[in-house]
Chains A and B, each alone.
Chain A
Amino acid sequence: MKPNVIGEILSIIPQERVLTDLADRYTFSYDASFGEYLPDVVVQPHTTEEISRLVKLANREIIPVYPRGSATSLSGGPLPVKGGMVLDMSRMNQKLEIDTENMLAIVSPGVLTADIHRQAEEAGLFYPPDPSSSHVSTIGGNLLENSSGPKGLKYGTTKEYVIGLEVVTPMGDVIRTGGKTVKNVTGYDLTRLIVGSEGTLGIVTEAILRLIPKPPSRKTLLAAFDRFEDSGYAITRILSSGILPAAMELMDQACIRAVENYQPSGLPVEAEALIIIEVDGHPAAVEEEIRRCEEICRGQGANTVTVARDEKERETIWKARKMVSPAITQMGPTKISEDATVPRSQIPAMMKRLRQIADKYRLNLVVFGHAGDGNLHPNIITDKRNEEEMKRVEDAVTEIFEAAVELGGTLSGEHGIGVLKAPYMEMELGPIGLDMMKKIKEAWDPNQILNPGKIFPEPGQTRVVLRQNES
């Protein structure tokens, strides 16, 4: 980057929000995935106007621009892989308005998702997307990754709740997409195009989110199965019986044992699978539905079924699920979290493939995830400093993606493509499918300045590389 560019940036943004120290820049070189890329400068914009001017400057000087929220991405989304400028969007967090009359939230991109949850709740409303990182991730990051969590099964992912955006385009112009109405068919749906685009098509500077009434009641159960397959049948039986649970979470045996090992809480370590089911809605319906779920689980061979009688018991059940992440990190310093997703009828088949892959490459693999929507989280526990093992991890990851695609699924249910999964895009989309996406990118961003190096594979890139010396 030319030295006079910093001078120009300083004419747009006051000095205290332009970081050029080596230490500061290094702290913007990572996210929650892999790799380390040092940016030339980090800018902390507060207004749309500032961003628009910065992006115009970047186009003139051909400087890569990398928007970044809280950098909790698990796929490398905000990594400045080609250097240049990081836009720290987390400081643009001034606006969080709840419009109760229209049941909307109007938010700045740097607002933390959990703050939206809380303020909506205080107004008797509900913003359903619930990634487990919601107390730290920004709504901007959630939008651009189209994040979701357990509630995705019943309520859908982030994209169902975004109805309008203000966006700075890759050329630096400011546009508004959608609006304040839930119904809107005026032209192409650019809102949906931007949501999930991982910061490659525009910088979101404001979002209008749809809220729904808060369900008045909920009930939760935990069921343990001796045979993994039975849990799969229970899940499909429940869903085909007309019940749509708010959440349906699955843990495999390796996972159960890890949790029990980490914090003994009486989980059945002999069980091959645990499922947690939560239903919500009208109190009478909820009672009836949880009873039906219990019946079905027992009918499908559940060894034990526990229905929470109060909020405290409900929390105990969910705690088992929340413990999974910390528990498995005790098994090794590096955790590779994948989120390959398959049609739900294929869950048992996918589980079998995962076990075979783990055995073949002699890896420590645990599986948990959102069973209701087929969104599994196979996690490989390893040590990134062990080069030989990392090589095997790379092979295993490649096979996991192949298995998911073969079973009619997708590379990523919620964590995004970023850098890590870019090499596999063609495998899922085919050459033409990928090319159509590239054309969109080229039309929007002719100078390739916005988040370059993401989603699309670099020439010759065909597989994931996790080893430090190879990147």
Chain B
Amino acid sequence: MSPSRNNPGQTERARKLFELTYEETNQCIQCGYCLPACPTYQSMGRESASPRGRIALVKMAAEGKLDITRDLAEPIDLCLGCRACETACPVGVPYGHILEETKQVLHESVARDPLNPQQPQHKGRERLKKAVLRHLFPYPKRLRIVGRMVYLYQKSGADRLATGVLPKISEPAARFAAALPRLESPSRRYNPGDVLPPVGPKKARVAFFNGCLMDAVMYRINRLTIELLRAVGCEVVIPETQTCCGALHAHQGMKEAAEQLARANIGAFERSESDFYINNAGGCGAMLIEYDQLLGKDPAWRERARDFVSKSRDISQVLDQFGPLPFKKEWNGTITYQDSCHLRHVQKVTEEPRRLLQSVPGATFVEMADSDRCCGSGGIYNLLHYDESMKILDDKMEKAADTCAETIVTTNPGCLLQMKLGVARKGMSQTRVLHLVEVLAEACGLT
């Protein structure tokens, strides 16, 4: 049977998948070079959990040999989206793109066919996922309320809930609640619309991207990011009307929602009239720098998206560029670094965070084995596929423990929570897990 655009055996969904992915899946030469790089292939040990396998399955589903919901949904769902396979691929197969297009088709399949009896488990997950993505993430204010609640909840000591009631409702959620960093009082946070002057002569005007999760429950890291930017001579604007980057939506196949968020952000940042757009979450940054791909087919937005991408930077790039940082304190102990997959494999930022950590006076930097490999966090993968994720995490913690570092540093909120959970699971009570910004701020005497 020759695959084609109008093969009668193909369903309409298969035809759509064909249109969206067939050129790209055909670029794969099945060399297998991506296999050793893939965390789910390593932990699950079967080809359908590997990049080569997933690409082949998408291709075969598009050819009508496999059913999209029955056969394709699970292998695709079990992908972390870490995109390590793209870095490993010698011929540049655009895996991230194939993944998103496939999720889009899957998402539409589930939406259109809500009574599909084949995957009850899959459906339950879908519902939870969609509700959160639709009603929470696009609304920074609602998220801030969640953040405030977490603060009050921690302050009241009610977080013992995390070990009491919550596990009965949802064990994974409880584990993560317990791993949440302690929040500071919301009164210290900066707000949208603020313009903060640089310390010393001004080198650049930069706009800061809050990020939803960061803004809601890790706003101390955001505040420290802004203070570090000011310390190296940046005037910092926090654009009003900025919103969620759309990464979670795109990764879950809600492409239209992601496009809307992208347009809102581009507008908000253009109005800030800044030289650079700074973010401090690897996952968000990866989404932001692919706005040009997301809106590439939209003539009204293509150029604006390109301009947005050319100005987007991870915090480590800017601090590295405008530094040195005004360090004030000697660091005591050993630091190791876990790459955020999306910072490494999508934004291709690998050296700057390491260079910054190595520049901290007194600190000893040790590289962790396989630091370029995913920790199993994968956006909300750890909530949706708890057991698979923990297998990957426990392996990661072995490597972390081998470094004997007292501090594990990462650059993405999801990874940060995951590593905190990992430290707790392994009983490494004396090990701290910090965002890069927290380490640098502490060494600069910022609290």
Task: Report A's interface with B, CB cutoff 8 A.
Answer: 19, 21-24, 26-32, 44, 70-72, 88, 90-91, 112, 133, 135-137, 325-326, 329-330, 333-335, 385, 468-469
Contact = CB atoms under 8 A, between A and B. Distances in A.
A58 B65 CA distance: 28
A42 B33 CA distance: 22
Given A23-B72, A27-B56, A468-B2, A44 B46 contact: yes
Contacts of B36: 112, 135-136
Interface string B207-234: 0000000000000000000000000000
Nearest to A328: B91
Contacts of B71: 21-23, 26
A393 to B, nearest CB: 15
Contacts of A71: 30, 32, 47
Contact of A23 (B31, B32, B52, B57): B57
B60 interface: yes
B29 A335 contact: yes
A75 to B, nearest CB: 13
Given A21-B71, A326-B90, A27 B46 contact: yes
Contacts of A91: 45
A22 B45 contact: no
Given A112-B36, A135-B36, A30 B2 contact: no
Contacts of A32: 29-32
B58 to A, nearest CB: 11
B90 A19 contact: no
Contacts of B29: 32, 329, 334-335
Nearest to B71: A23
Contact of B48 (A24, A137, A333): A24
Given A23-B57, A44-B46, A30 B32 contact: no
A51 B53 CA distance: 24
B47 A24 contact: yes
B32 A326 contact: no
In this complex, the member of A23, A24, A30, A335 whose beta carbon has the largest number of chain B beta carbons within 10 angstroms is: A23
Given A23-B74, A136-B35, A329-B29, A44 B45 contact: yes
B26 interface: yes
A409 to B, nearest CB: 26
Interface of B: 2, 26-27, 29-33, 35-36, 45-48, 50, 52-53, 56-57, 60, 65-66, 71-72, 74-75, 90-92
B382 to A, nearest CB: 22
B26 A385 contact: yes
13 contacts: A23-B74, A24-B48, A26-B65, A28-B47, A30-B56, A32-B29, A32-B32, A44-B46, A88-B46, A90-B45, A136-B35, A137-B32, A333-B27
A26 B56 contact: yes
Nearest to B57: A23
Given A44-B46, A112-B36, A135-B36, A27 B27 contact: no
A133 B31 contact: yes
A133 B36 CA distance: 11
A71 B46 CA distance: 12
Nearest to B44: A16
A253 B160 CA distance: 70
A326 B33 CA distance: 12
B73 to A, nearest CB: 9
A27 B91 contact: no
Given A136-B36, A333-B27, 17 more contacts: A23-B48, A23-B71, A26-B60, A26-B66, A27-B47, A28-B47, A29-B56, A32-B29, A44-B45, A44-B46, A72-B31, A91-B45, A112-B36, A137-B32, A329-B90, A333-B26, A334-B29
B36 to A, nearest CB: 6
Contacts of B90: 325-326, 329
A165 B33 CA distance: 27
A21 B119 CA distance: 14
B32 A22 contact: no
A400 B98 CA distance: 36
A276 B91 CA distance: 23
A335 B60 CA distance: 20
Given A72-B32, A136-B32, A326-B90, A26 B57 contact: yes
A88 B48 CA distance: 13
B46 A24 contact: yes
A137 B32 CA distance: 8
Contacts of B35: 70, 136
B66 A136 contact: no
